[in-house]
Structures are given as C-alpha cells and as structure tokens.
Amino acid sequence: MTRNDSTPSAGTARMPVLYVPHGAGPCFFMDWNPADTWHGLADFLKGVAGTLPSRPKAIVLVSGHWLEPRFSVTGGARPELIFDYYGFPPHTYELTYPAPGDPGLAQRVAALLDAGGAPARVDGERGFDHGVFIPLKLMFPEADIPVIQLSLRRDMDPLAHLEAGRALAPLRDEGVLIVGSGMSFHNMRGYGDTRYTPISADFDKWLTAAAGSGQAQRDALLEDWTRAPHARQCHPPGGEEHLIPLLVAAGAAADSTGRKVYSEKLMETTISAYRFG
C-alpha cells in the first residue's frame, strides 16, 4: 500500500520539515525486478512539491551519505554530483542535477549551527551525493531551487543531531525547506528477507508514534531510539546514518506535529516518510 496524505497548512508561509526515503542508489532511473518495485516511492516523491504551502526559496538537505567529524555544509555556487553508488548501469553515472548552491545561505546555516552549540564548517568543494540528487530529481526535477547539503556528524550522537535541527528551525519562516534524506529501515541483510517483515513493521509503528508525539516526548524518544523495538535489527550498530537525518528533521520541527505521509512494503520491509507541520 502506498499513501501520500501530506496536505499544506492553509494560510501559513512556514515550511514543513520532511524526512523522505531516497531509495537504493539510482533505483528510480533504471530497470528493476519486479519492474514496479520503486513506483510507489517515486510517485510519493514526485508529489511532494504539490503539498507545500509555496515554492521553497531554498532547500537544506541532510543526507545519510555524508559524515564528518563536525557538521559541514556545502558552500559552492555550482556543486558537482558525487556518484557514490557502485555496480549500477553505466547510464546512471551520467545523471544530472544542476541545482545551484547558495554560498550566502551556507554561511547562515553554519552560523545558526554555531550559535546553537553545534560547531560547523563550510566546505566549498563538496558536491551533492546521491542522497541529495536522486530524491530531488523527482521532487524538484527542474533543478532551479538553490540546494545546501548538511552532513551528519560522524559520531551520529542523537542529541547532537536533534540540537542541530533545532538550530536550523528559523529557516522554515524564511521559505527554506528542510529535508532529511535516508531510509526508515536500513539493514542491507534484511532487504528481501521475509523474516524482517514483522521486525520492520514493529519498528515503523514505534517510529510513527514517536514522530507524532508532543515535542518533548518526541525528542526524548528519538534521543533514545536504540531502545525501540528491533532498533538494532533495523539499523545495525554503526549503520544508523540513514535514520539520523530524521532526528535533524524532528529537531527543526520544533512544536510542529509529525505524521506519516507515505508507507509501503518495499523488498519485504516497511519503509516510511514523515512530515512535520
């Protein structure tokens, strides 16, 4: 089952915050078996722009594919693409997404993080990894909205990432869309294994309840996410980089309510997306 029940909040210019699955490598742009494996997620991503209250002035996206000792922000005016996937068809290494960067916004993002107790640096050379350009090619295919990528911190400390999100919350009132890009289930051994179907469903149920809780309870639950049912079977130790972008998104949500806006059984596991506000 696929669902996309995101709706814009009437009469408000504040941007929501999103956490979206970005799929497997360049999965949306190649043949797959079964052929319709990624159609539901692709349709969800293609529909995101139509659910927003207005066109974003810029996008700040945190991907599970960039880890640094401290938070880092892309600062180039024309970031190139990083094809950080392997063994896929040759044409998937020729994909383009010529979205501009925004050096001024990058400096502002770093300043907000610094002020929020999350020291950050601007990286003028870093390009966009596939956790950025693959979902954005579906969400905003014209590639005409400035994009800033934010790294995770390598230690993946939950509280640090919640706090980083909190520091960025003011951007929502400036027309900036904050997006966490990852996968709500990410155990490579579990994909395609029916033993993980109930395991992923239990974790997803917990994650959905946590996202929908009040701000204080939500943050407390997410800070202690490893206590969730089957947490480490869904995100093995040292491999939680695809979940942690959700914590940044939740931090940026402040008191905005979270809800599931897409959910589907993909490769025998439950995969979901969340929207705050």
Domain boundary assignment for the chain: 17-276
Which pLDDT score, from 0 to 100, does residue 159 have? 98
pLDDT confidence tier of residue 7, bands split at 50, 70 and 90: very low
b/e code 93-111 from CB counts within 10 Å (16+ = b): eebebebebbbebbebbbe
Backbone angles phi, psi at 257, to 5 degrees: -75, 140
Question: Cis link prior to 34 (omega < 30° from 0)?
Answer: yes
> Percent of the chain scored above 90 by pLDDT?
95
Residue 19 has pLDDT above 90, yes or no: yes
Structure tokens, 189: 């051994």
Q: How far apart are CA 123 and CA 79, in angstroms?
A: 10
pLDDT in tens, 130-149: 999 999 999 999 999 999 99
Which pLDDT score, from 0 to 100, does residue 1 have? 39
Contact 101, 76 (CB under 8 A): yes
Residue 3 has pLDDT above 80, yes or no: no
Q: Which helix (H) or strand (E) holds 113?
A: helix 103-115
Which pLDDT score, from 0 to 100, does residue 6 have? 39
Q: Which residues on adjacent β-strands are paired with residue 59?
A: 147, 177
Residue 11 has pLDDT above 60, yes or no: no
Query: What pTM was estimated for this model as a whole?
Result: 0.94
pLDDT confidence tier of residue 87, bands split at 50, 70 and 90: very high
**Helices 244-253 and 196-211 sit at what angle, rounded to 10 degrees?**
20
Residue 208 has pLDDT above 70, yes or no: yes
Residue 239 has pLDDT above 80, yes or no: yes
pLDDT in tens, 255-277: 999 999 999 999 999 999 999 99
Residue 10 has pLDDT above 60, yes or no: no
pLDDT in tens, 20-38: 999 999 999 999 999 999 9
Which pLDDT score, from 0 to 100, does residue 13 have? 79
Residue 40 has pLDDT above 60, yes or no: yes
CA-based nearest residue to 249, from 185, 181, 159, 165: 165
CA atoms within 13 A on the CB side of 194: 0
CA-based nearest residue to 165, from 18, 11, 13, 8: 18
Proportion of the chain in helix, strand, coil states, percent, rounded to 5: 40, 20, 40
In this prediction, residues 96-101 reach a mean pLDDT of 98
Q: How far apart are CA 229 and CA 209, in angstroms?
A: 12
In this prediction, residues 178-205 reach a mean pLDDT of 97
- Token pair 């809780």 is at which residue? 213
Looking at residue 106, its amino acid is A
Between the two ends of the chain, the Cα-to-Cα distance in Å is 23
Residue 118 has pLDDT above 50, yes or no: yes
Backbone angles phi, psi at 128, to 5 degrees: -95, 125
In this prediction, residues 100-109 reach a mean pLDDT of 98
Rounded to the nearest integer, the mean pLDDT of the chain is: 95
The fold for domain 17-276 equals: Protocatechuate 4,5-dioxygenase; Chain B (3.40.830)
